[in-house]
Amino acid sequence: MRTFLLGCVSLLIPLALYAQTPVADLLTAVADETAPASARWTAALDLGAATFADAAEQQTAVDALGEALRAREVGLRVNAATALGRIGDASGVAALADGIGDRQPVVRRAVAHSLGRIGTEASALALLTRVDDADGAVRGQVIHALGETGEPVAVGALGGIFLSHNPAKDGAFTREATRALLKMGGFAVDTFAAGLASHDADKQLISARALGLLGDPRAAEPLMRVLGALVPSVAAAAESALAHLGEPAMPGLIEALDAENPSVHGHALAAITDMGSPAVPTLVDLYTTSMLRVTELEGELQALADAIAQAEAASKAAVVAAQQPPPPPDPSTMTVSEIQREAKGLKKQLRVLNDEHDDIDSLVVYRRAANTFNQWIDAGRRELNKPPAPAATALSQQAAPSAEVAIGPEAQSSAAIASTQRALEDELDDHRARAHDAVVALGQIGDDVAVTTLSGVALTGAVMEATLAADALGRTGNANAVGTLTGLIADVAAPSSVRANAARGLGTLGATQAQAALQQLADTDPAPNVRRAAQQALHRLAPTVSLSPTG
């Protein structure tokens, strides 16, 4: 321990002595070419930490260090460059710009570091001259320093480095370029958007994460385009980045809920959920507006169905009317010769239609049985006008004529009506799915506002929505949901699917205060699915609870 303390003291004493050295003495030491090299190096470094009396003294130090950057000793050049960066005076950039081309890589690294610390546009321009330095360590330092400047003029070069290097092969340069671009803020959005559009999964992954860290609203659109990426890690990174963006990403995510690609839909819903409580107002509005539209569409579909039914009835009536024979002539208005011709024609038609002697004889029977000549005529006409039995293969030919039927104020073809019906049904499904997505997301967020909204849906919504809301309440992890769920299982008028999900939810929430109600439900409820759900909840609450047989 004594040796350790003596070593620390031996290090601190020189530092204390140099800290007290006047600036003038340090300047003299740096300029003295006859002094030991180590003394000159140390003096140059101490100038970087010195306290100057005024701006003039500081400028004198900067000029001296600029001269030292051209010295023969490598160590002096390195320390002079380091000191200029510590002073941070922009007037030292010119000397550093000359030093960035030093033949020694260690000097170029020190110069690049100091240019990054000074951080002016001139510093960035000087650094840009060495982005392709032959020495890898220098290139890495230059890239890092460009990021430190934060100057937009460096974005193009940094973007070129990021996009042209393969992360798998040039990981170090890619990481440095990424860190440097992140320090550029919104100026780097376009570069990372281009990275997302590349075919390199590693670059896509880095770009997605970077855009999430930048938090710029302009990143929402390019991130949405890779939400269905084939590489799961890229899609997950885009999901996380969109969640980090928050409100600016919400319109695109809501639209993505209608995507046919299940991956896009799932990641969009997860991103909304990951936003947490800030997303709740949007989700509540999404549910409300979607269900209002569902109600409107159901009314439109019902009206269309009624119109279709009326059209079909009218079409059938038209077909029946078309198949009826023309009314027979009235015998009371016919002369005897006309009646005889009519009878002869009927007899001939019967012979042609039936081609059997029995039918001809039947006409004679009808004539003899008739009390009057007119009755005989009517009997023969009825026989003639019997509709033939339809053949099995002719059923399809009995369909309604293809003439258009007027529905509503405008005439529409049957194909147009069917197309309209399908479009309305598809829109209805889309809006209902959006409402259901909102319910699921509210259940996963689970704050008090979400619980209040879900409680309203479970108590007053349609069966499908109420069932889903009861399930979501059980997944909130919020004790405020227990009251609503307890009320639901006690409501015998509620649909059994709602009550079953409410019972499961109480078990998921660990609501031991509901054990008695659940036990009664398991024993006596007439609905088998409700009894099973109550049993499952009781097992979760207390595995040792004895359950009565429920059949």
pLDDT tens, 206-255? 999 999 999 999 999 999 999 989 899 999 999 999 999 999 999 999 99
Give the residues across from 411 on adjacent strands. 406
Judged against a pLDDT cut of 50, whether residue 369 lies above it is answered with no
Three-state helix/strand/coil letters over 255-270: HHCCCCCHHHHHHHHH
Give the containing element (helix H, strand E) for 1: none
Give the containing element (helix H, strand E) for 405: strand 405-407
All domains in the chain, ordered by first residue:
1-127 (1.25.10.10), 185-275 (1.25.10.10), 334-382 (no CATH), 461-541 (no CATH)
Judged against a pLDDT cut of 60, whether residue 495 lies above it is answered with yes
pLDDT of residue 547: 38
Helices (H), 69-170: 74-87, 93-99, 105-118, 121-128, 136-149, 155-164
Sign of the alpha-carbon dihedral angle for 201, 206, 209, 214: negative
Query: 3-class DSSP state for residue 411?
Result: strand
Kindly report the average pLDDT of the chain as a whole number: 84
Query: 3-class DSSP state for residue 370?
Result: coil
Q: Are 252 and 224 in contact (CB under 8 A)?
A: yes
Report d(CA 535, CA 477) in Å as an integer: 20
Query: 3-class DSSP state for residue 203?
Result: helix
Task: Please tell me what DSSP assigns to residue 543.
Answer: T
Judged against a pLDDT cut of 70, whether residue 7 lies above it is answered with no
Sign of the alpha-carbon dihedral angle for 105, 107, 112, 113: positive
Cα of first residue to Cα of last residue in the chain, in angstroms, is 80
Q: Model pTM greater than 0.85?
A: no
Judged against a pLDDT cut of 80, whether residue 18 lies above it is answered with no
Where does the pLDDT of residue 157 fall: very low under 50, low under 70, confident under 90, or very high at 90 and above?
A: very high
Tell which residue, 441, 337, 325, 310, has the closest CA to residue 381: 325
Judged against a pLDDT cut of 70, whether residue 287 lies above it is answered with yes
pLDDT of residue 407: 47
Judged against a pLDDT cut of 60, whether residue 104 lies above it is answered with yes
Q: What's the Cα-to-Cα distance from 201 to each of 214, 219, 240, rounded to whole Å?
A: 20, 18, 16
Judged against a pLDDT cut of 50, whether residue 405 lies above it is answered with no
For residue range 195-207, what is the model confidence (pLDDT) as tens digits? 999 999 999 999 9
Query: 3-class DSSP state for residue 134?
Result: coil
Report d(CA 327, CA 400) in Å as an integer: 23
Task: Kindly state the average pLDDT of the residues 300-309.
Answer: 89
Judged against a pLDDT cut of 60, whether residue 3 lies above it is answered with no
Report d(CA 313, CA 315) in Å as an integer: 5
pLDDT of residue 515: 93
pLDDT of residue 380: 62
Query: 3-class DSSP state for residue 406?
Result: strand
CB atoms within 10 A of CB 484: 20
Where does the pLDDT of residue 373 fall: very low under 50, low under 70, confident under 90, or very high at 90 and above?
A: low
pLDDT of residue 172: 85
